Structure formats: structure tokens, C-alpha cells
Amino acid sequence: MLTQMHHRHGVKDRKDGINLTNLDDGQSGIIVSVMGGEMLTKRLADLGITTGKEVKVIRKTLFSGPVQIEVAGSKLVIGWGLASKIMVKSNER
Amino acid sequence: MSGDNKINIVLAGQGNSGKSTVFNYLTGLHQHIGNWAGKTIEKAEGTLFYRDHTIDVLDLPGIYSLTTVSEEELISRSYIIKQNPDWIINVVDSTNLERSLIFTLQLLELERPVIIALNMTDLAKRKGIAVDVKKLQNILKVPVIPTIASRGSGLTKLVDKVIDLKTDKSARIIHKYGKEIEQGIEELSEQLKGIDLPYPLRWIAIKLLEKDKDIRAQVSELKPQVIESSLRIMEELEEIHGHDSPLVIADERSLLASRITRETVRIAKDRKLSLNERLEALTTHKVTGYLIMILILGGMFLAVFSFGNWFSEWLDSIFLGWHDLWQDRVGTSFWPALGWSAIESVLALVQIAFPYILPFYILLYLLEDWGYIARISFLMDKFMHKMGIHGKACVSFIIGLGCNVPGCLSCRIMESKRERFITAVLVTLVPCSAVSVIVFGLVGKYVGLLWALGLYIFAAVLIFIVGKIASKLMIGEPVELIMSMPDYKTPNIKTIFSQTWDSLKEFIYIAAPIVIVSGVLIQAINLAGWMPAIASVMSPVTVNWLGLPAVTGILLIFGILRKELILVMLAAYLGTTNFNEVLTSQQMITLAIVSMFYVPCVATISVLWKEYGWRKALVITLAETAFAIVLAGLVKRVLDIFMV
């Protein structure tokens, strides 16, 4: 059900997160959880994508293309599917 | 004194930290420096003689961590432990301190002497990032030396420090995790006492809690009871924290890295929207990004081809008299003719390597060093995903447009075997500069430029379709793109030229022997007078199915060597370069299509062989040949209907 809902602030997840793709360009949030297998979460952790970190969406692309983010002081590009596995609590409002 | 003058150091650091630049500066040994993470897979060693000391330097692969068990990471950590170097120089990108520190913290856990080379301080300064070196040194309790490796600054100081300190035997207080984790580590370390493994006990304990497969296997052989305890502790940790124990540890390490960064880094607040950021916004924009990409790549090919054609013609005029000279001095019988074919192969290689591949590489590495290649990967990722691969594969395609050989080699940057293979297959279908010579020299010149461009679009559509089919056929999940986006920076001429030289060398090493041997072989068949027979054997395909002159059978055999030979030989056999007098438009298009997609040239086949084994190389070669013939025949029939 979660993935079908695309309202920006409407999607609720455990721990009250929305997935990263629901943030607008320029918005940031605090990571509440990273869903995914062991290898993937480890790999993301190496890049500083871990619970409690602030992450900013620099820009998204058309048609669910990759997402450019800033986390742990560095700029990264991750695939849309991956971005949708990172749950954040929006800093806005 | 003699025994004391030998020092062993290893360089460790993440991709893009400038580690290879440090290595090159220290040892003078040339080595490929890439912008792609984890590209230095080969072991690079060198020696530095300085202040009466012999310093052996080893460059470890650029890796992001010591936890995710990739091959490079296993190599790195076992090397650090087993070789026990006097110093580990951790090259750290000061513009990416926080992420780099995650790796540094893991390195420190190995309890080996570490010096930090805080690199790219010039870039950091320009970005308004100020790192408090003293404070960082105090927190990490290891020496920190600011460096700018691209200019060599700070590196002498680094080596001085290595020599002055000899090595660091002092016990260091390593950073601590949260209370529950520390209790677990302590309990496990206690139980691990006496185990016959070369690693520090605390490190083994941490790795067990991180579910490290390699370490777990080693421990379970020696002290299986410790594994049981570790499972219990992990369960407790997961209950308290609500998620996996490796993640709990990773989270804490990552947060510690943030905390250290916050304490030591100050970023100037009044940063205006810099030129860099404006450029960034333009080049990754949904509309302007693609426009700029088309302009840049289009301009690049135009530049390479106009330069290449001019240069190639100039070389032609130089080599012109050589054949006659050879015949005068050596003779015209069988052996001299065979000898000439070897020389001719070398000359032909020179004519493709220097006019086309060399400028192509220079421009490519210029774009890479500037940081633009990563933007292309970003822009093309979605599209590439439709073929079951991701944005980084785009780079291999672009290289393939220059030459398929380095294009296939560059597939090494893809993370999984599945993606590496799909990308390589698709690259062999990318029209390389030799194919472009045919397309423009035949179709572009005599049928029309639009038709030539149409063939490129046709190739693109075809590659897309083959990619889609391949991604369905090859089992396995597609890997998602994870890539760091480097800032735009002023390209370093030295880096560009050393990369260009390395790639050119690789191309020559791989291509030259194969091209020469098969050149001589085909010439031998030719001199033996078997070619007409072969042409007539092939005529059901060439004449009946493709509607081409029988002589094309011979051309296609020569084309295996290098595809542009098809055009050269065509002129030789037909006795004219005015191809429109001897071939119809349909025939030229058909011939161009066959040339584009049939057998990748021998040099490309040899790379496929080397990288994927002879079986796969053979399958690709045969499949593509059959595919090209069927396709060209079909296209001919369609053209027969529409073109008169």
C-alpha cells in the first residue's frame, strides 16, 4: 500500500517516516530507517547513510530517474528504487 | 644501520581521495588514476629513496570500507594485518571529511600505526571548508598532515614524519561505542583470548557483531563457542535498538564521524551560489542537462573525426611510398609480401591509434577529470535501467564509440558480473571509430548524411532492444546506481595525459599482437590464392541474401582485422574510390549495416576472451555475425521496396 501513495506528507511508515523520494528538491530530513538487505544497508552505511543522519534531496529527475542527495557532507547519486527504501522524517513544517 | 633504513608503507583510502596521485608522486611509477570508485583493483607497488631510506610503498585498492566484504576490501584488510606495514597512510579527502572518517575509524580499529594525509586542502579552502588539523589530531590520536597531492605539497612532510617516527608502537585509545555494544565487545574479547588469529581481539569481536562472514568462519573453526555467545549478544542488541546489530554499529560509527566532523570542520556561512553550483544545476537539469550533453558529446565526436580524418590522410601521404620501397628493396615474392603485411598491420594500427583513439581519450579524460562523466551517468541512469544496467554503463558506451577494446575493458567499473557482461555485449554493438569511417565514407558521402545519422539512430535502437532482451535472459537482480558526484574542478593536464597514455598503451598491448598475427594469416590465405574460392563459398550469403558483389565476402574477412579495412579493400578490389559508380545506395547501406554489427574485430574478441572466457567470446562472435547478416538482409528487402 505504501508505495501506491504519493502524497508528500501523507505516506506513513513505521517510525513516522516518509520515503526520500517524497521530499521535494532542496528539502531535507532525518533518516529514521533504511530498508533493504544486509549488503545494501552496509554499503549505504559506508557512505554515511545511517539512521539519525540528515539527508538533503538536491534534485530529482523526471520519470523516477536517479536522485541526487547530500548526506554526510558529500554529494551522491542513488537510483530511485534505492531512494524509496530510505525513510526520513521531513525537516519541513 | 642498514636494516633500519627500510620502511614499509601502504596507502589506504576511499575512491577519489587522491590516493593514486600520492602514490604516483611518491614512487614516480605511472598508474591509472580514475574518478570511478574502486577502480584500482590491481596491486600497485613502488619504491621511494629518500634521506638514506628505502621506502616501499603499496597502493591498496580504493575502497569505501572494511566491512562490506568485497574482494578489494578483503585484500586490503588481510594485507594490512599480514604484512604488518610500518605505517598505513590514510589518504583522506578533506572536502568529504565526514564520509572519509567512517573509513578512518574502521582503519583505526585494526590497531595498526596510521598517519592521515588530509588531502585536497586547496579544494576545501575554495569551498570555504576549514579543518582544524590540531583538533583532529587530538581526537583521533594519530598524526594528521595537510596535503595537496596534485601539486605535491605536504608530501615531503608526510614522508619526513614517516621516517622520523619510524613506527608507532604506542597503545592507542580507540573510540568507544555505546554502552551495550562495548559490553558485548568486552565479553567476546575475553572469550577470544588465546585464539590463533593475527587480528586484534577487539577487532575480531567487533567484526563478529557486524556479522562478518570471513571472520565468523575463521573463528568458528577455532573457538565455536564464541560464535554462540556472539549470537546471543547480537540478539540482545537487536532487542534494545530495534534493528540489526551490524546496523547498530554502523550507525554509531557514522554518527561518531559526524560528531568529529562537527567539532573540527567549519564551513564559511556566507557561501553564495557559486559558479560551480550554477554549472551543476544547468548540467543536471531536466531540459538543459540533456541539451548540454548532446552538445558536448556531439562536439567531441565532430572534433575527433575532423581531426582524425585530417591526421589519417596526412599519415597516408607519409606511408604512401613505403610499400614500393619495400618491394624494391626486399622483393615481391611470397615471404616479402607476407613480411609487408605485418608492417602494414602496424601502420594501420598507428593510423587508428593516433588520429582517432588518442584525441578521443584526451577529450574523454578531460571530461572525466573535469567531473562531467558523472553527470552523464546521472542523466542516463533511468534510460540505462531499461536495459537492466545502470548509469555508469554509459561511460563504457561512450568509450566504445572511440574503440570497442577499451570500451569492453571499462566494463570493469560495473559492480556485478551480470552487469559487466551485459554492458560488454552491448559495447561490441556500439559503432566504433573504424565503423564510423565506413558509415561516413560510404553512406554519408554517397547516399546522404541523413542516412548516415539514421544508421546511428538505428544502432542505438538496436542496442536498446538487445539490452532489453539480455536483461530478461540474464538472471539476477539489476544493481541500483550508487555513485558519488564529484564537484566540477579544473582539469589537471598531467593527470589527463598520464591516463591517456595508460589507456593507449593498454589498447596497443592487447590489439597489436592479435592484429599483426591475423593480418599475416589472412594475407597468407590471400597469397595462396584461396580468396576467390572463399568468396564464392560465401556468395549464397553475400550475393543471394545480401545482394552485394561476391567480392564483399573477402572484404568481410579482412574486416575482422579492423573494420575500416572493408572500405580500404573495397577501393582496392573495385579499383575506384567513387563507390557510387559500382554500388547502389541500397548496397552501401546493407554493407554498412553488416560492417556495423557482424563479428567484433579481433582485438575486441581478444578482450572478450580475456575478460569472460573463450566460450562466451565465441558465442558473442557467432551470434552477432548471424544477427548482422539476417538483419542486413531484411533491411535490404525493406529498402528495395522504398528506394528505387
Q: List pLDDT tens digits, range B150-175.
A: 888 888 888 888 888 876 666 566 67
Question: In the structure grid, which three cell numbers stand for residue B273, read together?
Answer: 551560489
> Chain B contacts of A74, Cβ < 8 Å?
95-96, 98-99, 484
Q: Nearest by CB to A48, which of B95, B246, B257?
A: B257
Question: Which among B31-40, B303-312, B322-331, B619-628 has the top mean pLDDT?
Answer: B619-628
Question: In the structure grid, which three cell numbers stand for residue B449, read together?
Answer: 548524411
**Which pLDDT value is given to residue B172?**
63
> What is the arithmetic mean of pLDDT over B389-412?
84
Record: contact B284-A34, CB cut-off 8 A: no
Residue type at position B635 = V
> Chain B contacts of A53, Cβ < 8 Å?
254-255, 258
- Cβ(B431)–Cβ(B398) below 8 Å: no
Record: contact A44-B261, CB cut-off 8 A: no
> What is the arithmetic mean of pLDDT over B488-514?
82
Question: In the structure grid, which three cell numbers stand for residue B344, read together?
Answer: 602494414
Q: Nearest by CB to A42, which of B98, B246, B286?
A: B246
**Which pLDDT value is given to residue B630?**
93
Record: contact B254-A33, CB cut-off 8 A: no
* Residue A13, pLDDT above cutoff 70: no
Record: contact B485-A76, CB cut-off 8 A: yes
CB atoms within 10 A of CB B465: 11
CA nearest to A63 within chain B:
B382
Q: How, if at all, do strands B44-50 and A86-90 pair?
A: unpaired
Return the residue matching grid coordinates 528538491.
A25
> Which DSSP letter does residue B577 get?
S
Q: What is the mean pLDDT of chain B?
A: 83
Indicate whether this model's pTM tops 0.80: no
* Residue B288, pLDDT above cutoff 70: yes
User: B264 — contact with chain A (CB < 8 Å)?
Assistant: no
- Rounded-to-integer distance, Cα B644 and Cα B638, Å: 11
Between these two residues, B415 and B327, which has the higher pLDDT value? Answer: B327
**Per-residue pLDDT reduced to its tens digit, B91-104:** 998 888 888 898 89
User: B71 — contact with chain A (CB < 8 Å)?
Assistant: no
Q: Residue B57: phi, psi to the nearest 5?
A: -115, 130
**Which pLDDT value is given to residue B50?**
81
> Chain B contacts of A72, Cβ < 8 Å?
96, 98-99, 102, 254, 257-258
> Chain B contacts of A75, Cβ < 8 Å?
484-485, 487
Question: Which of 553-592 (B) contact A at CB < 8 A?
Answer: none
* Residue B217, pLDDT above cutoff 60: yes
CA nearest to A64 within chain B:
B382
> What is the arithmetic mean of pLDDT over A29-51?
83
Between these two residues, B100 and B565, which has the higher pLDDT value? Answer: B100
Record: contact A64-B382, CB cut-off 8 A: yes
Q: Nearest by CB to B251, which of A52, A62, A63?
A: A52
- Cβ(B120)–Cβ(B45) below 8 Å: no
| β-pair partners for B638 | none
Record: contact A78-B381, CB cut-off 8 A: no
Nearest chain A Cα distance for residue B248, angstroms? 9
**Which pLDDT value is given to residue A7?**
39
How sure is the predictor about B461, in pLDDT bands with cuts at 50, 70 and 90?
Answer: very high
Task: Write down the ipTM of this complex.
Answer: 0.77
* Residue B44, pLDDT above cutoff 80: no
Q: Nearest by CB to A48, which of B102, B244, B379?
A: B102
Most A CBs within 10 A among B14, B251, B482, hence the mutation to make, goes to B482
Record: contact A79-B482, CB cut-off 8 A: yes
**Which pLDDT value is given to residue B428?**
93
Q: Nearest by CB to B258, which of A42, A53, A77?
A: A53
**Which pLDDT value is given to residue B69?**
54
> Chain A contacts of B246, Cβ < 8 Å?
38, 41-42
- Rounded-to-integer distance, Cα B386 and Cα B471, Å: 9
- Rounded-to-integer distance, Cα B84 and Cα B8, Å: 9
**Which pLDDT value is given to residue B299?**
92
**Which pLDDT value is given to residue A9?**
39
Q: Residue B430: phi, psi to the nearest 5?
A: -70, 130
Nearest chain B Cα distance for residue A68, angstroms? 8
User: Residue B268, class by beta-carbon neighbours within 10 Å (0-12 exposed, 13-18 middle, 19+ buried)?
Assistant: exposed
Nearest chain B Cα distance for residue A10, angstroms? 24
Record: contact B484-A72, CB cut-off 8 A: no
Interface contacts (A, B; CB < 8 Å): 129
Return the residue matching grid coordinates 616501499.
B56
- Rounded-to-integer distance, Cα B213 and Cα B230, Å: 13
User: A3 — contact with chain B (CB < 8 Å)?
Assistant: no
Record: contact B381-A50, CB cut-off 8 A: no
- Rounded-to-integer distance, Cα B86 and Cα B161, Å: 12
Lowest mean pLDDT among B115-119, B188-192, B432-436, B572-576: B572-576
* Residue A38, pLDDT above cutoff 80: no
